Structure 1
Amino acid sequence: MEFRIDETKRQVIVITGVAKATEIVVNELDLLNRKFLEGTHEEYECELVLQDVEIVDESGEKTGVTELKAFARRKNVDNWIMEFIPDEYIWG
């Protein structure tokens, strides 16, 4: 599964399926239906956020260039974010 970011519309387009590709549009701040392992004690809601991230080179030095990236943020916890990986969510 892959995705692309539409910076202008502030959304992510998730491409699902192999033989018959389907596009799912997720707008910034839309809720994400996260997959949890059976028996997980603490389940929570996540929302999609887009943030500019400064790029670093191979040596770890900042390049001064930023790139828009997608993250999942725990709802109502602004400082709790993780990389957006489409396979970790339920679509449809």
Structure 2
Amino acid sequence: MQFRIDEAKRQVIVISGAAKAGEIVLNELDPLERKFLEGTNEKYECELVLQDVALIDDNGDKTGVTELKAFARRKGAESWLMEFIPEEYIW
């Protein structure tokens, strides 16, 4: 599964099939239903967030350029972010 970010609309478009046949449009702050392994005790709710991330060069120095990236944020824990990977969610 792949996705693209529509910066102007603050949306993520998940592409699950051949061109446009399987598109799922998610707006920023939409809930995400995370897949959990069987027997997981601590289950939580997530939402989609988009944030600008500073790019770094090969030496680890900031380049002065930012890129908009998609993350899943745990509801109730504003600083808890993880990279948005479409395969980790139920569609």
Tell whether the structures are fold-level matches, with TM greater than 0.5.
yes
Q: What TM-score, normalized to structure 2?
A: 0.95
Distance (whole Å) between structure 1 residues aligned to residue 26 and residue 78 of structure 2: 19
Could you list the per-position Cα deviations for residues 15-39 of structure 1 after superposition, in whole angstroms to 9, with x for gaps in the alignment? 0035984000000000001000000
Aligned to 1:77: 77
Distance (whole Å) between structure 2 residues aligned to residue 38 and residue 65 of structure 1: 41
Aligned length: 91
The share of aligned pairs that are identical, in percent, is 76
Kindly indicate whether residue 15 of structure 2 is the aligned counterpart of residue 10 of structure 1.
Answer: no
Could you list the per-position Cα deviations for residues 28-83 of structure 1 after superposition, in whole angstroms to 9, with x for gaps in the alignment? 00000100000001000000000000000111110000000000000111000000
Question: Which segments of 5 or more consecutive residues in structure 1 lack a partner in the other structure?
Answer: none
Aligned to 1:90: 90
Q: What TM-score, normalized to structure 1?
A: 0.94
Distance (whole Å) between structure 2 residues aligned to residue 20 and residue 36 of structure 1: 28
Aligned to 2:61: 61
Matches within 5 A, 1:31-70: 31-70=31-70
In the TM superposition, structure 1's runs of 4+ consecutive aligned residues that sit over 2 Å from their partners are 17-21
State the superposition RMSD in angstroms. 1.4
Question: Which segments of 5 or more consecutive residues in structure 2 lack a partner in the other structure?
Answer: none
